[in-house]
Amino acid sequence: MRTCVWLALLISLTAVGCQPTPDILRYFQNPEPQLTLRPKITTADRIASHGYPAETHKVVTEDGYIITLFRIPYSHKLQNQNAYRPIVLIQHGLFSSSDGWMLNGPNDGIGFNLADAGYDVWFGNARGNTYSRNHTSMSTNHPYFWRFSWHEIGHYDIAAMIDYALAINGQGQKAIHYVGHSQGTTVFFALMSSRPEYNAKIKTAHMLAPVAFMNNMSDKLVRTLAPYLGHHNGYAAFFNDQEFIPYNELFTKLGYNACAPNSKTHQLCNSIAYMLEGPESNTNRTGLVILAETHPAGCSTNQICHYMQEQQSGRFCLYDYGRTKNLQLYGQPTPPDYPVEQITSKVHLWYSDNDDMAAVIDVERLADKLPNRVMHHMEDPTWAHGDFASHIEVKKYINEPIIEIMNDYEQEMKM
């Protein structure tokens, strides 16, 4: 999003006859000597700014990606660092990162609420986003670095996060609670069905705006592009295996500095974010500036194509590489369906009527296949896809009910 804004600015200057001069271009070629920019703060910085202890952890996946986890190990309000603290892993959606869970601040953010309820809270970051752009043997300039979809995020990244959190917690816990939003639900379904042994490591799972089957979703952009990018063809081949909206350190710093609270353009960022969200949005307005500072956080184009394939096929299945490669990888000409019937962990599905990415009929189709699920339908007819993470009353309608379910589980385990 920020990259597009700055490119649009340059295009506008050109359109009105203000050609960029060599002096202006010099700032982009070597910005540091000419521009004094504050470094972009991390999720850990945001956590610590509210008084909570914050940790940063690097985890290596089985296939060599180095991903970042942020942690609130205990609550400074409870001083419960020596008490038993059940583990919770919170996973973001497409184009997002752990920063997305910071939008509602310490009073209404689910991570902070969980910490204050006595939990050991971990925020995941999928490969390819702002915090997970490293590999043991490849740089981001290597095309193979971006050769992954959300299947690999589930199969490798989420598995590594679960195992790492269990090991680092140090309290001998064997399972965790899980909270995922949008793509954070898709990767959970992919992992638990393709590696069913991980179901034993889940206490309760909370799927906010669950995305698996997508043929009835109403998002106009996806429905427009999916006929082109949702098939193994020339359009998809041109789009595949690359970073979506390439990361640029200068643009990232400019966006953060422009939208920082004490910036002269802070109110402009707020206004732009307001226009993007729309006047009918339920989003917490104070969090929109953080959204503008930190999003989109980066992903592979294959993640997008995989979703487009789902929309076109009406199936929840592995990535379609075309007949030849499918035969090599899967032993069949089309990709196999995820066996979601093998997801035995307790899955809570939180869904709404106004979600343009997760249609009710698609959520119900998924629910019919899950052997151990609980449905949570949002009564508010305006509740939209992003509201599950950033609604102005998310604490009341999402966070507190989830914490109550987790607390009930923990209490039952003690009996």
Does residue 245 carry a pLDDT above 80?
Answer: no
Q: How confident is the model at residue 2 (pLDDT cuts 50, 70, 90)?
A: very low
Does residue 72 carry a pLDDT above 60?
Answer: yes
Q: How confident is the model at residue 256 (pLDDT cuts 50, 70, 90)?
A: low
Q: How high is the pLDDT of residue 261? A: 62
Decide if 385 is catalytic: yes
Averaged pLDDT, 365-380: 98
Q: How high is the pLDDT of residue 292? A: 73
Tokens in use for 145?
Answer: 């670095």
Decide if 295 is catalytic: no
Taking the C-alpha atoms of residue 357 and residue 219, their distance in angstroms, rounded to an integer, is 6
Tokens in use for 319?
Answer: 């990535």
Averaged pLDDT, 316-338: 97
Catalytic residue among 355, 362, 390, 391: 355
**What rounded mean pLDDT belongs to the chain?**
87
Q: How high is the pLDDT of residue 30? A: 56
Give percent above pLDDT 70 in the chain. 82
Catalytic residue among 219, 385, 390, 391: 385
Taking the C-alpha atoms of residue 400 and residue 36, their distance in angstroms, rounded to an integer, is 42
Q: For residue 238, give every residue at least 6 positions away whose Cβ sits within 8 Å of its Cβ, in sequence order, or none.
A: none
Averaged pLDDT, 161-182: 98
Q: How high is the pLDDT of residue 415? A: 79
Residue predicted with more confidence, 361 or 279: 361
Does residue 184 carry a pLDDT above 90?
Answer: yes
Q: How high is the pLDDT of residue 12? A: 38
Decide if 45 is catalytic: no
Taking the C-alpha atoms of residue 337 and residue 355, their distance in angstroms, rounded to an integer, is 24
What is the pTM assigned to this prediction?
A: 0.87
Peptide bond into 22 cis (omega under 30): no
With beta carbons less than 8 A apart as the criterion, state whether 9 and 226 touch.
no
Q: How high is the pLDDT of residue 78? A: 98
Averaged pLDDT, 173-185: 98
Catalytic residue among 96, 182, 281, 345: 182
Per-residue pLDDT tens over the stretch 286-316? 777 777 778 889 999 999 999 999 999 999 9
Does residue 279 carry a pLDDT above 60?
Answer: no
Does residue 145 carry a pLDDT above 90?
Answer: yes
Q: How high is the pLDDT of residue 257? A: 67
Q: What are phi and psi of 217, to 5 degrees?
A: -65, 150
Residue ranges in 170-319 assigned as alpha helix (H): 183-194, 220-229, 234-239, 249-259, 266-277, 288-294, 301-313
